[in-house]
Structure 1
Amino acid sequence: MLKLALFFLVISLVAGLFGFGGIASASAGMAKILFFIAIVLFVVFLVVALLAGRAVLK
């Protein structure tokens, strides 16, 4: 998911460089959304892994 966010970020930077403001804005928005989704999923899986690890140790 982070690779996809990075991909949209690069598209946004290139589009902005060439003057395509609408495409750059849309790509930056998608990159931002995907980045925050990836962060939320990371935190959720981290909590699940920590709780599962405690159950195994008992």
Structure 2
Amino acid sequence: MATIKVKQVRSSIGVPIDQKKTLSALGLRKISQIIEIEDTHSNRGMIKKVHHLVVVVD
């Protein structure tokens, strides 16, 4: 299956608790951390929910 690389670019301080939980569900804990996840609909939805905190990297 295809994968996506996601990088956290902004802090989760001051964001609602559901967005913090979404970041942790993705596996992101620190700014500039890059993770590689499978390209599924559920992962795309989580990325869309926190799109202002993360960026998809090539």
TM-score by length of 1: 0.28
Higher relative contact order (CA 8 A, sep 6+): 2
Rg (Cα) greater in structure: 1
Greater strand share, structure number: 2
TM-score by length of 2: 0.28
